[in-house]
Every structure is written in C-alpha cells, then in structure tokens.
Structure 1
C-alpha cells in the first residue's frame, strides 16, 4: 500500500461517528413512526366512526369528502384513508344508520351517504360518549403535564 492509499485515522473516527449518528437518527425515526401509527390506530378505532356519522349528518357526503373534511377539522394533522372510511360507511348502511345513493345510477362513480332517523339517534349517543371519553383523556393529560412542570 502506498501513501495515497492510506486513510487518515481521524477520517476513520469521523466515519464511525457518522455511522453511529445515522443509527441513532434511524432509531428515532422508527420510534416516531411507531408512535404515529399508534395514534392513528387510536383515532381510527375510537374517533373515526363518530366523526364519519357526524360529517354525514352535517352534509350528505362520500368517502373522499369525509376524508378531506377530517383533514380540515384536524388542520391537516390527520386525514384518514378512504380505505378506513368505506368499511364504516358500509357497516352504518347495513345497520340502517345511513343510506347511500349513487350520484349517477348508470355510471356508479360516487355514492353519497345521508343520515337516517335511526342514525340521528345513534349519533346523539355516540357524540356524548365520545365527548365524555375525550374530556376524561384531556384531564389525564393535563394532570400529567402539571406533574412534569
């Protein structure tokens, strides 16, 4: 090996530091992604069904419009996929809480959902239960924040 092929020791040390920093950052990103997935699951399972029914109550909508509306409500922090919304719409339709009608029965491109009287009663119950649950959760978080100060 001639002098040109030798790598300065400080370069090797710098390479090791960069690799360690890369691994640390990668672990942080992985943890953040896992946390975001957990939050998404909580929102999807606990809050999404009530939001869907409430949005349909506010204005007849399709799945894409509901997803966009939730994105607006959360200032872009959370916009569920229509893949999570359409099963809820189908379940609610089967339960008689909403009805769905194609905007153009021949083309069947967009199905618009409207709340039923039965759906209004269910929405009243769901909203109150969700509000109570969210208020309790906020109280817990506020107590934790006070303790951390």
Structure 2
C-alpha cells in the first residue's frame, strides 16, 4: 500500500462516496443504471464516475435492503431496470447528508495547517 499515492486516496474516497451519490441522484427522480452513472458524473463534475462494476452491486444491495425498488421498462425495444428510492431510501439519503456534513466540517478543521508548518 502506498499511502503517498494520490490514486490510493482518490480510490478510497470515491468508493465511499459512490453510495452517497447514487442515493443523491435517485433522490431527485427514478433512473436506469446508465443514467445514474451519467448523472453522478455530471453532479460531481467527473470526480466520481461509478462503473458498471460499482453501480450494479450497490443497486442490488440497496434493493435487497429495501432502499430502492426496480421496475423493468421497455425503451427502444430493449428492457432496462429503472430504480426508484423508497421512503427508507429517502431517509437514508437525508441521514447520509447529515453524516457527510459533520465529517466534512471535521476534515476542513483538520486540514488547517498552522503557518509555521507550511
């Protein structure tokens, strides 16, 4: 493990944030998997871009936990699953927002480096 590598920290941060941003985009409206990935990339300005290998296991986990439901719809002759947040999923997003706000405040305080250390 190279803790001096930016890629290491970016990977850890993005892995944690992917669940948050999936909830975030579904909080606004139901979406299918590709649309979720595209919208997360847009909302984060490319910082967090979940791949199929990330997004579908998370969606499956959310569905099994009762945070999302899915329905198959036909678009252009092809089937696709559309995911919708349940009330439990909406509550999970609100709790996540509060938790991330708190953590973000601590991070911002922690990264203030005293002037004699810069």
TM-score range, shorter chain: 0.7 to 0.9
Match of 2:87?
A: 120
Identify unmatched segments of 5+ residues in structure 1: 1-26
Higher strand fraction (1 or 2): 2
| Greater Rg by CA | 1
TM-score (norm 1): 0.60
Report the CA distance between 1:108 and its aligned residue. Answer: 5.0
Higher helix fraction (1 or 2): 1
Give me the whole-angstrom Cα distance separating, in 2, the residues matched to 1:142 and 1:59: 31
Higher relative contact order (CA 8 A, sep 6+): 2
What CA RMSD, in Å, does the superposition of the two structures yield over aligned residues? 2.6
Match of 2:6?
A: 32
Alignment match of 1:101 (pick from 59, 62, 71): 71
Match of 1:142?
A: 108
Match of 2:47?
A: 77
Q: How many residues align?
A: 112
Identify unmatched segments of 5+ residues in structure 2: none
- Report if aligned partners of 2:37, 2:55 keep a CA contact under 8 Å in 1: yes
